[in-house]
Amino acid sequence: MNETAPRYWFPKPYADFVQRLRVASGFVLLVAFAWLSRPSPSSLAIGLPIAVIGLLLRGWAAGHLAKDRQLATSGPYAYIRNPLYAGTLTVAAGIVIAARSGWMALIFAAVFLLVYFPVIELEEQHLREIFGDYGAYAARVRRLLPVSRWKGGEARFSWPLYKRNQEYKALLGFLIAVLWLAWKLVSL
């Protein structure tokens, strides 16, 4: 096995299962959020800014991502390989804090560990297959925690890429979550 080969390999049936599980887990998270949220003014004041930071990271990443056409190494991809997932994790952490629910935190953590980590691995396997230089990039840039900067990819943020990647849907989902939390706050 060479040094750029993935450490793990998931067979196609498992990959398909994880992708289906990813969609189903979204519904579980939505129900958990709706049922378990118990926000307070202070939990909203702490959690919502954290979630906004995650949204900004996701938006920045979406404006640099030309899926399956070019290896993204600019913007946040110069610092971490998976800024969309890092942004998702940050948004989720902020929403969990805002919702003030330990059970929800456990459910979100389980979904991220059992669903999103395998999805990240599968996506990285795909990138290794279609981009020959992915191995060098992955050796230098960490998966989710920024450590060093990749010395390449000087592309600027692109609003057309942001729109093509439909990142505005994450913003819409966040706004709906904020409205739900606000309604829960006044109805508790």
The residue ranges of every structural domain in the chain are 12-187
Mean pLDDT of the chain: 88
Q: Identity (one letter) of the amino acid at 53?
A: I
1 pLDDT more than 50: no
How many other C-beta atoms lie within 10 A of the C-beta of residue 70? 13
34 pLDDT more than 70: yes
- How much is the pTM? 0.86
- Sign of the alpha-carbon dihedral angle for 48, 54, 55, 60: positive
| Encoded tokens for 166 | 């439909």
Q: Identity (one letter) of the amino acid at 1?
A: M
Closest Cα partner for 78 from 172, 171, 150? Answer: 150
What is the third-level CATH fold of 12-187? Four Helix Bundle (Hemerythrin (Met), subunit A) (1.20.120)
Can you tell me the mean pLDDT for 128-142? 92
| Encoded tokens for 73 | 């190494």
Instruction: Measure Cα distances from 157 to 28, 82, 88 in Å.
Output: 33, 16, 19
